[in-house]
Structure formats: structure tokens, C-alpha cells
Amino acid sequence: MTPFDASIATKAWATGPGAEPEEGIMEGSRRHAIAAYILVALGTAVATAVVAALLVNIFERKQEAKNPFLKLVEVTEDDVDPAKWGVNWPRQYDGYLRTSDPTATKYGGSAVGPEGSMPPQKAERDPWLKRIFAGYLFSVDYRDRRGHAFMLHDQEVTKRNVPGEGKQSGNCLHCHASVMPLYRKLGAEALSQGTPGEQVQKGLEIVGGMDYWEAHRLLEQVTGKAHPVSCVDCHDPDTMELRVTRPAFLSGIRNLAASDAPVPHLPSIGRWRQGSRSAPYDPNVDGTRQEMRSFVCGQCHVEYFCGKGTTIFFPWDRGLKAEEIEAAYDNLVVKGRRFKDWTHAETGVEVLKAQHPEFEVWSQGIHARSGVACADCHMPYKREGALKVSEHWVRSPLLHIPRACETCHPYGEKEIAARVEAIQDRHFALLTRAGEAAVAMLDSLVAVRKGYDEAGWRDALENDPAIRRLGELQRAAQWRLDFVAAENSMGFHAPQELARILGESIDLSRQAQAEATRLASRTAASAEVHAAP
């Protein structure tokens, strides 16, 4: 029945008593009238229900906006279990949990296997890695990355860290576990009169002096279970403000601030340098909110040294560039000798190993210079209802381009992906070329070494200027190549800077090769002269 019919029926009823219509019509119009009532009532009821639903929807959104979280449980500095924090901040915790999902981009995690399988060895794609790491544990086991959730597990199962072999120290836990309660406990026991900062540093030294598995066992005793990076590592449990907890970052950035190295992307260091310098630079006091959104990541995504016998440190006292870090290592004396990570098995040269210097490389790029923090791209803001949440499923920006990139570069997802791929493809080609140059260098050095016995070669590396120079070239070429290869962005964090470093690496490798070839032919010629008479 249409509304028009209803109005006729209503009219019939209105004129009813006076008009005395015939019985049949009367019956019919009454039926019509009842139907009309029911229809109008139903219509109004539905409309009211819709409006009520809208009202509730608006109410919910207003509540969401008013109460971004509800603190149901108290969390403290000692709560390293993220599940407890997840009771108060379920949205962030949801994201954190998803870091266990396998993700893949063209150059990162590109061959993700079935659930539970380990990521592939890096050397499958870049075979030259095996050569440059000859004699080092990274030639044994060096896999592609996985998400935050696996950081501790992957360290427990890598062949570089087999229990009983004693190859790694407790230093590793600085970044692979939520370790602060252990540092505080051991530090307070050893240095009961010290400030909290001094106690943490002391705890770091004590743990660094232990075998990895001994430290791991102690951590389990203190925190119940060893957890990978957790909420408390970046957030103040009282205010949820970002803060830096890791002592190696605190001292590293303090040394960087005290140096003359230009850091235009870190304005708070510039302000501190112009100030009285009465207190050392402290990111938790001096850092801006935006800087903290990179500093918390820089606690671990950096170049560092953490080998046995040394307390972990970040080599930033001359600056963040590859050659400034190299100079810091070259000027470091350990047990009376210039610092080395290991002795190369093929050439006997004492060389350096780079770890993932993401913070340092980001520092040289245009994004850092423009004030863009790690979290802006890797943990972009997203909205759930009326809430603005920062994504705690930390992953490649290429996996969420609209939020990560298009907030500033509104050119469409495909276009952005194509631009990034162009940068990464070029970078990968240059990286591969540098790897091949390094292999050619190693081949030619091995050829020179053949003319010497073991002791003679060791002596030549120390005392023969020409051979010594070969060693220096290898050390510098490898350091540059590894610095770039170990960095996780396939060139994106600072394309031009990384191309510059690779260019230097290729040049140094080829210099070494040319020099070695010259030496080899000279040795061969003199051998012929000796053999002739």
C-alpha cells in the first residue's frame, strides 16, 4: 500500500460517523485504516531505530575520541611481558603481535617460506658474501631478516651462537632481549652507591663479560622468561612517553653530540652544542618528540661492536659516516693492537665487520634532513574509528604505501612503488658490482700470498710496505662494501651516500687488485731470474 492509499483510508475514517456509508465499504475502509496504522507505525519504528543506531554510533565515536585507552592494569619498569601492556593498549599490542607474520618485498624477505621455516641464507642471493666473510661466523650462518617477534628466537637458534661453543657474549642481549631489569639488578648489586645511570652502565659491563647463555639464563631468572623487544624498551610505563633505555645508545649519542660532526638532522644536538654544555647531552632530556621517534629505533638499528672481552659500544665519537666510524675503529687499540673484528681466512688481513647501520645511513639521507623520523614511514599513523594509532606492526613502508608515503607524496601507490623500485634496482646492481670487485680483489691477494709461507706472509703483512698496503686496501674496501650490504633498505635510506661508499669500495678493491697483480708478476719475474742460471 502506498502512502496515497493510506491517506484515502484516513479520510474515509474521518468522514465515517456522519456519512453513514454502506456496511461493505465501512468494513473495507476500516481494514484499510488498520493497515495504514500498522504501516505508519512500522515506518516510524524503523526510522526511529535507524536514528537510534546513528546516535549510538556517534556516541561510540565520541567515547573513542575521549578515552584513547583505559588503564586496567598498572605497568612498571619491570614488566617486560608485552601481554600485560596489551591489556591497556590492545590496539598497539595487536600490531606488535603481527610482527611475527612473514612479510616480503622485492629485496627484503623475498623468499618467505611456509609458516615456521627459517628465512633463506643471504649468500644464496649474494654469493660473494661467503668470500668476504671467510673465516668468520657470518660465512657459516647469515640469514635474511624477520620481524621483531623473532629477534630473540633467531639469535637462540643461529649457528653463530651454539650453546657450549662460547662464541658470543652477553652483549648480544642489549638489543635482542628486553634486558633492562637484569642490568639494573646486577648494577645495583655491584654499585650500590651509584646513580641509576651508572648502575645500568655497570650492569651492561657485567652482562657483557658473561657468556651469552649464562646471561640468558640470568635474565630468565630475573624476568621470569626472556622476551624480545617489548613495550617498556621504548615507553615510560607511567606516561607512555617515548624514552631511550639502552645504555650503549645513551653513551653513543652523548659522544656524537660532544664531537664536531655536523648533524643537521638532529636539531636538539645543535641546540645543546650552542648551550652551556654544563650537563652531557641526554636524548631523554634534550631530544625533541620527533627525534625520539627515531632515537628509540636507533637504540639497536645501528653499527656497534659487541665482541667478547669488550662492553658493547656505538662508534660515533667522530660522526656517523662510514669513514668516520672506520676512523674510530682504526684508532681503537685492543690488547696492544689496532682493533679488528676478525682475521680474513683467505688473505690473513685483519678486517672489520659492519652490522646493520640503519640509523647512521638514514642520517645521511634526504628524509632525515627533512625531519622525517623512522616511525613516520615504518610505524605510520593509522585510524581505528575515531582513534589515531601509530602502527606497531613495524615493517617495510612498501607494505603500506598510502599511509607511509602518500601523506607527503600524494602520487598514487603504483607510482611510489615504481620510484622506490628504480632506486633499489640501481642500488642492487651497484652493490653486486662492488661484491664482484671484492671477490676479484681477494683472488688476486690469494695469488700473491701463494709466494709466501705462513710465517713469511704474516711478517710481510706487518713489515713489507707493499704487502701492508694491500691489506689496508682490503680492509677499507671490505668495510665499505659490508657497511652498505648490511644496511637494511637496499639503498633507499640514503641512495647517493650509499652509491658514494660503494664507488669507493669498488675503487679500493680494484686498486688492491691492480697492485696485487703488479706484485705477483714482479715476484714471478724475479723467480724466473733466480731459476735461469
Partner 1 sequence: MTGRGSKAWVALSALAGAFAGIGAFTFHYAGGLGYLGSNPATCAYCHIMNDQFDSWRKGPHHAAATCSDCHLPPRFLAKYLAKGRNGYHHSMGFTFQPPRPDDPDARQVFVEPIRIKDFNSQILQDNCLRCHGEFTHGIVRGSTWADDAVRCVHCHEGVGHGARR
Q: How far apart are CA 132 and CA 498, in angstroms?
A: 19
In whole angstroms, how close is the CB of 270 to partner 1 at the nearest point?
Answer: 17
Choose between 44 and 496: whose C-beta lies nearer to partner 1: 44
Choose between 45 and 514: whose C-beta lies nearer to partner 1: 45
Residue type at position 373: A
Q: How far apart are CA 362 and CA 320, in angstroms?
A: 10
Contact criterion met (CB below 8 Å) for 33 and 10: yes
In whole angstroms, how close is the CB of 365 to partner 1 at the nearest point?
Answer: 16
Nearest to 438 by CA among 141, 134, 107, 145: 134
In whole angstroms, how close is the CB of 496 to partner 1 at the nearest point?
Answer: 22
In whole angstroms, how close is the CB of 51 to partner 1 at the nearest point?
Answer: 5
Nearest to 286 by CA among 307, 306, 263, 320: 263
Q: Which residues partner with 359 through β-bridges?
A: none
In whole angstroms, how close is the CB of 367 to partner 1 at the nearest point?
Answer: 12
Distances (CA, A) of 139 to 120, 143, 340, 349: 14, 10, 17, 16
In whole angstroms, how close is the CB of 380 to partner 1 at the nearest point?
Answer: 9
How many Cβ atoms from other residues are within 10 Å of residue 314's Cβ?
27
Contact criterion met (CB below 8 Å) for 157 and 117: no
What are φ and ψ of residue 331, in 5° steps? Answer: -95, 5
In whole angstroms, how close is the CB of 385 to partner 1 at the nearest point?
Answer: 6
Q: Is 235 strand, coil or helix?
A: strand
Choose between 18 and 533: whose C-beta lies nearer to partner 1: 18
Applying CB under 8 A, the residues found at the interface with partner 1 are: 13, 16-17, 33, 37, 40-41, 44-45, 47-48, 51-52, 54-55, 57-59, 61, 64-65, 290, 370-371, 376, 382-386, 388, 402-403, 406-407, 410
Choose between 58 and 514: whose C-beta lies nearer to partner 1: 58
Choose between 8 and 332: whose C-beta lies nearer to partner 1: 8
Alpha carbon 376 to chain centroid, angstroms:
13
Choose between 61 and 271: whose C-beta lies nearer to partner 1: 61
Helix (H) or strand (E) holding 383: strand 381-384
Choose between 224 and 411: whose C-beta lies nearer to partner 1: 411
In whole angstroms, how close is the CB of 110 to partner 1 at the nearest point?
Answer: 21
Alpha carbon 491 to chain centroid, angstroms:
15
Choose between 37 and 452: whose C-beta lies nearer to partner 1: 37
Contact criterion met (CB below 8 Å) for 434 and 126: no
